[in-house]
Structure 1
Amino acid sequence: MARTTFREYKFKFYLNANHFIVINGKEGEIHPHTWEFMVDVLMSDQKFVQFDAYEKAIDEYFNKYQNRILNEVEPFDHMVPTLENMSDYFADEIRGIVKELGGHLVKMESSETPTRSYVISFEREQEYLESIRKSSKQQMSDVIDGILDRIID
């Protein structure tokens, strides 16, 4: 039985910003956080992409939120910037960035404290599963081509 190997990069990003939460129509105090976002990226295309291309693109994306009051920045000026809302929004945005570079966002883990995380996983999504199937077929084809090349030579 052929063994299939998948390679992923795991990146950590830190967002230093302030926010306040609205509960029952009342604004809480503005307070700081250092949010941690761990992003797992599956390499899907056969083309080579340096890992730092993902790092730079995602870091640049987060820069527009660094050291800001999130409630004053789009889209959080009309969406309460809870960890869950931020993570859902950021995951969609980062997913597009990763896809442009030829990868797939597998999972994003977000936390505002070291003791709990909010995780968004795309591992069971049809598009992700289809990319895995294609990658598996391509890897098998590459192995067969390599064996045939050695036999012919």
Structure 2
Amino acid sequence: MSNKVLTYRLRTFINATHAVRWQGVQGVAHPHTWELILDIQPMTYPQPMKFEDIETVINDSIAVFSGEFLNTVAPFDDINPTLENFAEVLFDILTTALLKISCQLLDLSVGESPTRFINIALAQD
């Protein structure tokens, strides 16, 4: 018999603008509806969690980016707001926030369009 792992999958969106810097030159600012798909493992299993509790933590954690020009929001006022960097920053922010409700972020996909995604996951031991 195999061990079972319960994972919550949630999807949310951030509307924000950015301008990527290439070779020291900033490109044109343009908007995205960034799509986030999160796989989250509760540390309380088999005790169920409320989706609303998880969603509140996620939404509160990413609100700082909503409706903003990313280039002016920390840490993107210092680092290039590429899709890759945005996904890494979101992964770190969400990992810390979800721990407060006894959840672990296992996997995060961030898309800047319906066809372009970056995925970050915890390394398997």
Q: Name the TM-score, length of structure 2 as normaliser.
A: 0.91
Aligned pairs, how many?
Answer: 124
Q: Which amino acid aligns with 1:14?
A: F
Shift of 1:117: 1.4
Structure 2 residue ranges without an equivalent (≥5): none
Match of 2:63? 63
Shift of 1:3: 3.6
Is the Cα contact below 8 Å between 1:107 and 1:123 reproduced in 2?
no
Deviations 1:41-86 (A, max 9, x none): 0122245432211101111111111111010011110011101001
1:18 and 2:17 aligned: yes
Residues in 1 aligned to 2:108 and 2:81: alpha-carbon distance in whole angstroms? 17
Q: Which amino acid aligns with 2:113?
A: T
1:64 partner SS: helix
Shift of 1:98: 1.3
Structure having greater relative contact order (Cα 8 Å, sep ≥ 6)? 2
| Paired residues for 1:73-88 under 5 Å | 73-88=73-88
Q: Which has the higher strand share?
A: 2
Is the Cα contact below 8 Å between 1:98 and 1:104 reproduced in 2?
yes
Deviations 1:103-123 (A, max 9, x none): 111100111111121111115
What is the root-mean-square deviation of aligned Cα atoms in Å? 1.4
